[in-house]
Amino acid sequence: MQKFSQNKLLILVIFFLVQKMGMSQQILELSVGTAAGNIIDRNIYGHFSEHLGRCIYDGFWAADSLNVPKKDRIRLDVVEALKKINIPNLRWPGGCFADEYHWRDGIGPRTQRPKMVNTNWGGITEDNSFGTHEFLELCSLLNCEPYIAGNVGSGTVEEMSHWVEYLNFDGESPLTNIRKQNGRAEPWRVKYWGVGNESWGCGGNMTAEFYADEYKRYATYTRNYPASSLRKIASGANAADYHWTEVLMKNVGPRRMWGLSLHYYTIPSGNWGKKGSATKFDEKEYFNTMKNCLVMEELINKHSAIMDKYDSAKRVALVVDEWGIWTDVEPGTNPSFLYQQNSMRDALIAATTLNIFNNHSDRVKMANLAQTVNVLQSLILTKGTDMLLTPTYYVFDLYKIHQDAKLLPVHFESPSYSSGNEEIPAVNISASKDSTGKIHISLVNLDPLNNIIIKTRIEGESWKKVTGRVLTSTNLTDINSFENKNRVVPGVFTGAKKEGNDLVVTLPAKSIVVLEIND
């Protein structure tokens, strides 16, 4: 059997999309070229943990008295679940919280750490028991890269500069002596460094021009120490604020920043005042949600086009360090804690967004879903000693095969999924080839009613075997609850077969399928 070769790259795929209702048939051609593909940076599959609601406290960081497996107070059941999906990086301490966080309050003996008020998220008292050492211990247990957001809004250049010295300097200095007294001899060599967060809003309400100057001042003094080069990430645009990206690229430019961020949340109703329920929605609201989710592609295209003007070599990464669905909170929970359940709809959002990121991974090098545990589009929900994995978790499990694999560009025309006079593409796809030569294709069908038959011809490659996994459920509103944790879980996919040299897939309605093709 001939191996998938890098140079024999043209894989011609013909999609015959037939709606199961049997009414229409479309034949589409897809060509996939391995030579042109860049690597899908594993950091696209990153996560975010803020001092917000029950993400850190009661999520990652449990009370001493809680009877769960722990290292110090870090919940090991949560750690084990995240290790299984190969979490590449974790962003901390915020979010809005980052711009009122003073890192020195979170080091040293815990009983002596000053308390503070978390004014962004409910005015609760923060005891600072989870600080720098605890976060970096968590990352070490997770085997992932830390991504720290420094305080520009209410902090000083000196404070940020000292934090980096404390973290990354290997020599003798007053700060490294304090680090050693606090039990850490070696520097951590933190690489990913955010210079503020949402500096247009909760991070200081700055103009783009003012922030660009501030960025340069802060970034100048966040030093690269021997063997500890920082990848500095500028606080980027809110959704479609293209002026922000233009000014940052023009006034700061590729030499001074490794990445520029972008924040975009999917709001079901499109209205921040009344976002919509996480679990109770009809098909119209589902359609609107997916339409809003797909805006991510337009945002990436437009921000990337601006970045290309100033950086045709694509040195600056677009870092989508906050994304996901944001709904009304679960009834009866603290509105400031942003606790929401997670349904099959959320899984479709995650899978679609990750397909978009994969397909734009020439510019998008990092992303962080908001937020890992108990906040917004979570992977994990906890309740006392109990925990559950959400449908979104399983998408990251299915898609981990794309991490650091070579992107295979896909070209096809999707059938539409329509509601009233509006329509959106029903299907989205991304594909990659891993270091062992296996091809993976992730396919999403947003149409809640119609299966779609996909006939794929792979030319120039011979292959023998296709296997797959599928995530779907009876209803879009289905969730994993503490009473029924396995309602939405992946299963073996039997809807793909080889016919001649064609791959024929019956893609179920409202499903996510990941196929593995090898010889």
Name the residues annotated as catalytic: 198, 322
CB 136 within 8 A of CB 67: no
CB 50 within 8 A of CB 62: no
Decide if residue 321 touches ligand AHR (CB under 6 A): no
Output the smallest distance, CB 460 to ligand AHR, in A. Answer: 45
- Measured from the CB atom, is 100 or 447 closer to ligand AHR? 100
- Measured from the CB atom, is 303 or 400 closer to ligand AHR? 303
Output the smallest distance, CB 437 to ligand AHR, in A. Answer: 39
- Of residues 94, 153, 236, 276, which one binds ligand AHR by CB under 6 A? 94
Only one of the segments 102-110, 370-378, 465-473, 500-508 lies at the binding site for ligand AHR (rule: CB under 6 A); that segment is 370-378
- Measured from the CB atom, is 95 or 187 closer to ligand AHR? 95
Only one of the segments 88-96, 184-192, 239-247, 271-279 lies at the binding site for ligand AHR (rule: CB under 6 A); that segment is 88-96
Q: Which helix (H) or strand (E) holds 350?
A: helix 344-359
CA-based nearest residue to 141, from 77, 184, 227, 192: 77
| C-alpha triplet 490, 494, 495: angle, nearest 5° | 105
Return the residue nearest ligand AHR (CB atom).
95
- Measured from the CB atom, is 34 or 371 closer to ligand AHR? 371
Q: Which helix (H) or strand (E) holds 321?
A: strand 317-325
Decide if residue 322 touches ligand AHR (CB under 6 A): yes
Decide if residue 198 touches ligand AHR (CB under 6 A): yes
Decide if residue 99 touches ligand AHR (CB under 6 A): no
Name, in order, each residue with C-beta under 8 angstroms of 332's C-beta and a sequence gap of 6 or more.
none
- Measured from the CB atom, is 13 or 152 closer to ligand AHR? 152
- Of residues 49, 197, 352, 355, which one binds ligand AHR by CB under 6 A? 197
Output the smallest distance, CB 203 to ligand AHR, in A. Answer: 8
Output the smallest distance, CB 384 to ligand AHR, in A. Answer: 24
SS3 at position 432: strand
Decide if residue 126 touches ligand AHR (CB under 6 A): no
Output the smallest distance, CB 484 to ligand AHR, in A. Answer: 28
Only one of the segments 3-11, 70-78, 89-97, 501-509 lies at the binding site for ligand AHR (rule: CB under 6 A); that segment is 89-97
Output the smallest distance, CB 328 to ligand AHR, in A. Answer: 14
Q: Annotate 188-255 with DSSP letters as a single string.
A: ----EEEE-S-TTTTTT---HHHHHHHHHHHHHHSPPBTTB--EEEEEEEETT-HHHHHHHHHHT-TT
Give CA–CA dist 217/23, Å, rounded. Answer: 62
Output the smallest distance, CB 99 to ligand AHR, in A. Answer: 9
CB 17 within 8 A of CB 451: no
Q: Annotate 81-101 with DSSP letters as a single string.
A: HHHHTT--EEEES-SGGGGG-
Give CA–CA dist 87/469, Å, rounded. Answer: 20
- Provide the token pair at 113: 């750490």
* Contact set for ligand AHR, span 14-53 (CB under 6 A): 50
Decide if residue 415 touches ligand AHR (CB under 6 A): no
Give CA–CA dist 519/517, Å, rounded. Answer: 7
- Measured from the CB atom, is 37 or 153 closer to ligand AHR? 153
Structure letter (DSSP) for residue 134: H
Per-residue CA distances from 344 to 262, 476, 497 (Å): 25, 5, 26
Decide if residue 100 touches ligand AHR (CB under 6 A): no
The footprint of ligand AHR on this chain (CB under 6 A) covers a number of residues equal to 10
Binding site for ligand AHR (CB under 6 A): 50, 94-96, 197-198, 322, 370-371, 376
